[in-house]
A and B are shown apart, each in its own frame.
Chain A
Amino acid sequence: MRCSKYRTLIYLQESGDATPRQQLKLERHLHTCDGCRDLASSLEPLPLHEVRSELPLENRELEQIRRSVMTGISPAQAGRGSMLRFALITASTLVVLTGAMFIALHQPGEGPGVSEARVTDAPFVESATVSGDRGRRESVTPQNPAAELESAERTDESAPHIQVPAEQEKEAEALLATGAWQPEQEAIDPAPELETKATAVRIELQTSNPNVRIIWIASGRDEASSEPPESTTNT
């Protein structure tokens, strides 16, 4: 057997894996070979176990560490952490939802379902609908052409195709010029039982199908209104 094989045995013995027979062989060889003996002696464990007794921490410091770890892992602490996580998740969800609703309400609808909807706050029920290039305007207050005119003037510039019929416009101007109609006095005569000003809102939704229009009339703040909200679908 060559020295290289005995060196393998030396390492096996060092790790405690050598069989008794291998140990005996190695012992015999070490009596005769200086090189292998040097290697074997260099691999003998050092008396280092005493070094382990050195410790930089005192008992009270170790106790302190134990206490702080136990505090860190206690279920109450974990519960507090999960509550905080829950609150954070809820708050962030609310922020995201609010943002999404804000964007949805302030963006002109360009989806396939609804082209555009606009709500006006005329003194009485007043609405105008613009749908694509088929601009049209509806009024449910034919008794008050001046209000219509005023409303038309207030209409957003983004709807240039809204037009008030020329006859109605002239009629309103004439009424204003003669003083037969005074806008300040044109307050709605509310129903006797109403305490607040009636503010009705009419919303028209023009769908992608030009033949389908959804009209929704809500009574607004008028809780005492006797008229129920109307919902109509014109086809």
Chain B
Amino acid sequence: MTDIDRIERVSGEDQSDDPVLVAAIREVRDGNTDAFETVMARSERRIASLAWRILGDADEVRDAVQETFLRVYRFIHRYDDSRSALPWLFRITVNVCRDLERGRRKRAERFIELEQNHQAPPENQPDAVAHRNEEIELLTRAIDELPRKERLAIILRDIEGLPTEEVARILGSRPATVRVQVSSARSKIRSFLSDRRRGVES
């Protein structure tokens, strides 16, 4: 039985710090290449989600996830045991997305696409569910409209739930800067939502 199996049995699936992921990374670092499959399985959804929030293009997300894992494997010896694994993976993801984003500006296209594809919720949907979906879509669009730096900061801080210091480390900036960016992003999102609601009411 490997370390991963032992931890998985003890800890179960839902772990905020995910010791299974950390153990799998350690095993890969010690030469067990097969354990990398566990690393991917434990983190792929979070990485894909982050890449999706940043890039907004499904094809690019696919490339980003693949490239992220290849980089993770290449630099796995640099992983610091004393830190959480997920922020380290996010840092690599953000860098990969930055590389992919360079020279490509598809967000505007996607936004237009969303606008065109926007449909009213089906009538048979319960009101609460319909309202919730509408809120999520509004939030998504509000985030998409943010400037790039603020968008990254709010995604990592509020969506991924990382502490400000960790976000600052990932983005290579100071915590104070991240605080300002997050605060600005929040107020912009709030005003976007209130504008939309006001528009719907009127």
B48 at the interface (CB under 8 A from A): yes
B164 at the interface (CB under 8 A from A): yes
Contact A69:B163 (CB < 8 A) given known A46-B158, A62-B44: no
Give chain B interface residues in 21-64, CB to chain A under 8 Å: 33, 36-37, 40-41, 44-45, 48-49, 52-53, 58, 61-62
Whether B186 and A68, one on each chain, are in contact in the complex, defined by CB atoms closer than 8 angstroms, is no
**Which of A11, A56, A73 has the most chain B CB atoms inside 10 A of its CB?**
A56
Whether B37 and A57, one on each chain, are in contact in the complex, defined by CB atoms closer than 8 angstroms, is no
**Which of B140, B165, B186 has the most chain A CB atoms inside 10 A of its CB?**
B186
A42 at the interface (CB under 8 A from B): yes
Give the complex CA separation of A50 and B37 in angstroms: 27
- Residues of B in contact (CB 8 Å), total 40
Give the complex CA separation of A53 and B46 in angstroms: 9
Whether A55 and B65, one on each chain, are in contact in the complex, defined by CB atoms closer than 8 angstroms, is no
Residue of A nearest to B59 (CB): A56
Give the complex CA separation of A57 and B52 in angstroms: 9
A212 at the interface (CB under 8 A from B): no
Residues of A within 8 A of B158 (CB): 45-46, 48-49
Residues of B within 8 A of A62 (CB): 44-45, 48, 65
A74 at the interface (CB under 8 A from B): yes
A66 at the interface (CB under 8 A from B): yes
Give the complex CA separation of A87 and B154 in angstroms: 50
Residues of A within 8 A of B37 (CB): 66, 70
Residues of B within 8 A of A69 (CB): 36, 40, 66, 69-70, 73
Whether B33 and A43, one on each chain, are in contact in the complex, defined by CB atoms closer than 8 angstroms, is no
Contact with B along A43-77 (1 / 0, CB 8 A): 11111111111111100011001101110111100
Question: Nearest 7 CB-CB pairs, A to B?
Answer: A56-B58, A48-B158, A15-B164, A69-B69, A42-B187, A48-B159, A66-B40
